[in-house]
Every structure is written in structure tokens, then in C-alpha cells.
Structure 1
Amino acid sequence: MPSPQSHWSAIVAMVLATGLFAASDSLMKLTAQGLQPFQVLFMRGLFGMISCGLILIVTGQARQLGGALHWRVVLRGVLETAATFFYMAALSAMPIADAIAIGQTAPLLVIVALAVIFRERIPALRLALVCAGFLGAILVAQPGGSGLSPAALYAFATAMVVATRDLLTRGTPSTIPAFVVITTTNVLLTLATGGATMIHESWMPPSIQQWLTMVASGFIVTLGQIAIFLSYRRAPASVVAPYYYSFTVWAVTAGFLVWGEVPNGLAVIGMVLIVTSGLALLFVKARRRQEAVA
């Protein structure tokens, strides 16, 4: 059984991971201001793929690369690629904090999907928390008279695809190493964005600074994936999962430091609702599991 000390180290790893993801996304958003979106994704995916490949070799997990062909691993990579496409479209046109906050409604969508598709009954409290989370997302998106902006729609599409990924890949065999799964996703993302760049964009020669920024972004996102992996290895998911919502805090910080973005009052209320409802849902789920065991 993991010790309380390992729980603290796992929590630190989770908070560090979300900070690294926010830093990587910030670098990607900065680079996208001077290059094509698919091109930026291709560059980050390329260096992320190289980083993961090196980790596979160092850890010895390369011997288990056959697991990359498992249909759930491939499906996860395809859905992750689609989610990244939508997320990049949202990130290019809206504040990073807003894009991440809306994206964090994915767990709420999973609950709704379980109720609709698998006829799972949602208790009144959980339903109220889900509704509160979606209300928060609407406050962050702040639709005008013509409805949601395209960027907000892309952010909601990101959450929907992530929820679909989580539903359809829940049964991925635990015998397949985490970095085999991550590498598969990076390979599929790099191939897809490379193809999209050739078909839909004109390659813009990156400057040395832009290349270095994408090298850093790819390396940082890999470090974040390592931190997530270590976090779930050192403590139960029920302990560390709530701290994934620190992503929103990091995103607000990055938006302010890099672009001077300050969310308005409605957006702040919306972010608080999303984070609070997500944390409360995790707490309710943990309590129900404890009661079932008792």
C-alpha cells in the first residue's frame, strides 16, 4: 500500500505535470502566432515522439512495442489526435485559460454519456454538480447574440472527443506500458499533422527560435507525461485526480504572465464552478466507493 509520503510526492507530481502542460501549450500558442497551426502541431509532435522514443529505450519498454498495435491503443491515439486538432484551433483564437477550462468539462460529459448510452442512473446530487459544471463552461464561453464563438465550439469539441476517448479506451490492458501508449499517440499525431500540413497549408520556414521553442515544447510535454505516469504509480487515482484541476490555475497564470490576459468576472465564476463541480464529483464518487466497501 502506498505510504502517505508517496501520496504527497504523487500530488506534487500531478501539480507539476499540469504546470508543464500549461508551459508547453503556451509555447505552442506563441509559435502559432507566426506559423501555420498544423505545422506547429507537427513540429511539437515530432520532438515529443523523439523524446518518448528515447524514454522507451532507456526504460527498456521498447521490447513491448507490440502493444502499440492493440486496437484500443490505436483508437486512443486517433481520438487524442482529433482532440489535439480541436484544442489547437481553440487555443489559437481564445485565451489559454478559457480553452483549458472548457476542456476540463470532459469528465462531466463522461457521466452524461454513461447515463444516456449505458442507462446508468445519475443521483440527484451528481446531476446537480454536472449541471453546475456545464453552467460554468457557458460562463467561460460567454456566447453572444449569434451564439458560441467558433473558438468556444472547438473547445467544447475537444472536451467531447476526450470524453469519447475515455469511454472507449477504458479497457486498455494494464500490461501495455504507459510510454508505449504515449508513443503510439505521438506517432499518430505527427503523421496526421504532417499530412494535414502538406494538404491544407503551405510550409512556412521556421526561424531558429521557433524550432528551439518547439523542441522545448515537445520535451516539456513529455516531462509532463512522465510526471502524470509517476503520479498515478505512487498513489491511487482518487488521491491525485482532483489535483489535475490545478491545470486551470496554471493556465490563468500563464495567460497573465505571457499575454497579460485577465479573465473577466463571469469567466472567473465559470472556472470556479467547473473546478468545484469536478472536485465535488470526485469526492462523492470516493464516498460511494467507501460505503460500498463498508
Structure 2
Amino acid sequence: MKQTSAAMATAGIVYVLVGMTAISINDMLIKQLSGDYPLHQIVFVRSGVGILFSLILVQAEGGLSILKTRQPFLHLLRGLLVVVSNMTYFVALAVMPLADATALFFAAPLFITLLSIPILGERVGPMRMAAVVVGFGGVILMQRPWEGTAALDVNRLVLLLPVVSALTYALLQLMTRKLGATTRASALAVYIQAIFIVVSALFYVIAGDGDFVQGVSDPSLIFLLRAWIWPGDGDWIYLLGLGLNSAVIGYCLAQAYRLADAATVAPFEYVGLPLAVLWGWLIWNELPDWEVWAGMALIAGSGLFVFFRERAKARVVARAEVKARY
């Protein structure tokens, strides 16, 4: 049993590393396209392509019958949380440096650790709780509360959007842990893609003609509300890449949180931080300010402490269980 648990934890870590690499590519592509296309069009195309790849995975994991569920409301709620998490993050990403938005989003593993107490019944000791507090200190530092609004590069409300995204992402991953006990990862991915398609199609019906963007100057709102346009020939490769990435992300992250405890998997999501810095530097010649570097260090450091603390605690408990059998 112990070997099985260790193997499942290792598999969960591998899945989350692949998923986070795909997310970093996804963020880079969306930021690249945000100057020409509306967010809901990008999401519609991405999810339309992604659901095809996800259905292939469904077939491989047991066929269309695994899409049946006795918990449609919970799956709908999880899907809506994904939509909120993505929309708030991408709206911020359109006007923020990639590394800054990613760093603020990485409050998510801290939220996961904190919310795993009431939702999953996991135990979080005082040292891990202190590490979570330190990590949120990094989030506050990146919000630069001492700066006036005029001194910030973006609206302060926009700075909060990645944090809102992190909170909703944490909730959906904890729901994945509960739903994953009875639902395959490929089915979870299909449900999410389908909800994305429905929501983005509704955006098209309401705002696809671009009427709501008239007179709007805020670049985040323009990204959200501008009119749909037919993609240029050179952009189709990016949109298709987004679709494939979407399927990889949905499957890998769902699988990671199905196989392993949230507190074990979540810290490995921090691989997204150096990847975001790398993309920002290579493509947009952006490097984070000192507040972002310091915030990254606090958040990543606290997350890694939580991880190693959890692993050490797990080893102690395992030794105690072995002794108890004798």
C-alpha cells in the first residue's frame, strides 16, 4: 500500500509538471494574441480544438460511457470556477508582464493548502500555516500597497485579478480531488472544455459584434469586449497550439489531483514561475521589478517549505504505522 501511494504521488508530480509547462506556453500564446483578438474568441477556438483531443483521451480511457455522471451540478460548478479563474487571469495578462501576473497567480498553492483544511479535512500544522502567512506576505508585497495609483503601471483592481484567479483555481483543484475519485481525468477535461465553449459562445452572442467596446479605453476591457475577427493565416498555428495545450492542461492537472494529495502536488506548480520569467524575457524583453522578485522568493520559499514539511511528516506517520503493525 505504501509503495502504491508513493507511485501515485510520483505520477501526480509528473503530471503537474507537464501541465504547468503547458500552462506557461498557453499564457505566452494568449498574451501574444491579445492585441488582435477578443478573449472569448481565443477561448472558443482553444476549447473547440481542445475538446476534440480530450474526446480522444476519453476513448482511450474507456469510451464515451465514462462521461456519464451522477454529480452534474458539482461538475458544472467546477467548470464555472475554471471559467472565472481563466477569464480573470487572462484579462490581467493582457496588460501585465507575464512574470508579474504569474507570480500573483501563484497564491493558488497557498490557497489550496489553506482550503484543504475545511474542504478535504487535511491537517495543516502551525509551521505550515506560518509558511502560508509568509507566502501571502509576498502577494501583498507585489501589490505594492505603499504606491499611489498613479505610480502603478496598471490599475490596482487589475493587480487583484490574478489573486481572484488563484482563489477560484484553488477551489476547483480541491473539487477535482473530490470528484476525481469517481470521474476519469479525460472526462473532467471534456466537461471543462464544453463549459468554456458554452460561455464563450454566449459572449459572442452578447458582445461578439464589438458594440460594447465603443468608447472604452482600458486595454483589459478592450481585450474582453472587442469584436470577433477571422484569424490571419499566421495565427492559426497559435490557435491550434492553444487547443492542444488546453487538452494537455485539463487532462494533466485533473490527473495530478486525482492521484496525489493536494499538499503534495501543489508546490510543484511553482515551476511555472521561472518559465514565466523566461518567456517574458525571450519574447517581450521583460524582467520583473524587485518587488516581484522578492514576492516570488517569499511565495516559492513558503510553498517549498510546506511541501518538505508535509513529506517529512508523512515519513514519520508511515514509520509509526509500520511499528503499530508489529
Give the TM-score, by structure 1 length: 0.85
Structure 2 unpaired stretches of 5+: 210-227, 321-326
Kindly state the Cα deviation for residue 287 of structure 1 after the two structures are TM-superposed.
2.9
Q: Deviation at 1:119? A: 11
> Which amino acid is 1:37 matched to?
L
Structure 2 partner of 1:72: 74
User: 1:68 touches 1:184 (CA, 8 Å); kept in 2?
Assistant: no
CA distance in 1, matches of 2:108, 2:50: 24
Correspondence list, 1:16-95, <5 A: 16-67=18-69, 70-95=72-97
The answer to whether the Cα contact below 8 Å between 2:29 and 2:238 also exists between their aligned partners in 1 is yes
One-letter amino acid of the counterpart of residue 145, structure 1:
G
Q: Is it true that 1:153 corresponds to 2:178 in the alignment?
A: no
DSSP-derived class of the 1:93 partner: coil
CA 1:136–1:130 in structure 2 vs 1: closer, same or farther (change >3 Å)?
same
Selected match of 1:125 from 115, 124, 127: 127
Query: 2:278 aligned to 253, 263, 276, which one?
Result: 253
Relative distance call for 1:240 and 1:63 in structure 2 (3 A) is same
What root-mean-square deviation, in Å, do the aligned CA atoms of Structure 1 and Structure 2 show?
3.3
2:37 match: secondary structure:
coil
- Given candidates 190, 198, 203, the residue that maps to 1:196 is 203
Distance of aligned partners of 1:193 and 1:228 in 2 relative to their CA distance in 1, 3 Å threshold: same
Classify the secondary structure of the residue corresponding to 2:277: helix
Q: Does 1:278 align with 2:281?
A: no
Tell whether 2:234 aligns with 1:209: yes
CA distance in 2, matches of 1:172, 1:236: 13
Q: CA, structure 1 residues 182+68, in 2 after alignment: closer, same or farther (shift >3 Å)?
A: farther
Deviations, residues 258-286 of structure 1 (Å, cap 9, x unaligned): 11110122211111111111111122233
Local SS of the residue matching 2:59: helix
In the alignment, the residues of structure 2 paired with residue 168 and residue 3 of structure 1 have an alpha-carbon distance, to the nearest angstrom, of: 20
| Contact 2:54 2:189 survives alignment (8 Å) | yes
Residue type at the aligned position of 1:196: F
CA contact (8 A) 1:52 1:222 kept: yes
Residue of structure 2 equivalent to 1:244: 269
SS at match of 1:175: coil
Q: Which residue identity does 2:148 align to in structure 1?
A: G
Comparing 110-119 with 8-17, which one deviates more in the overlay?
Answer: 110-119
The match for 2:191 is 184
Gaps of 5+ in 1: none
Shift of 1:129: 1.0
The structure 1 residue matched to 2:312, chosen from 272, 287, 291, is: 287
Normalising to structure 2: TM-score of the pair? 0.78
Displacement after TM superposition at 1:156 (Å) = 1.1
Cα distance in 2 for partners of 1:76, 1:41 equals: 17
The answer as to whether partners of 1:68 and 1:181 remain within 8 angstroms in 2 is no
The question of whether the paired residues in 2 share the 8 Å contact of 1:102 and 1:155 is answered with yes
- Pairwise CA distance, 1:68: 7.8
> Deviations 1:188-246 (Å, cap 9, x if unpaired)?
01110121132134222221222331111111232344444666788777665432210
Local SS of the residue matching 1:100? helix
Contact 2:138 2:295 in 1 (8 A): yes
Q: Secondary structure at the match of 1:262?
A: coil
Count of equivalent residues: 294
Q: Which amino acid aligns with 1:175?
A: T
CA distance, structure 1, for counterparts of residue 70 and residue 100 of structure 2:
33
Instruction: Give the alignment partner of residue 179 of structure 2, picking from 164, 172, 182.
Output: 172
Letter in 2 for 1:210: D
Determine the C-alpha separation between the residues in 2 that align with 1:278 and 1:66. 36
Which amino acid in the other structure matches residue 83 of structure 1?
Answer: S
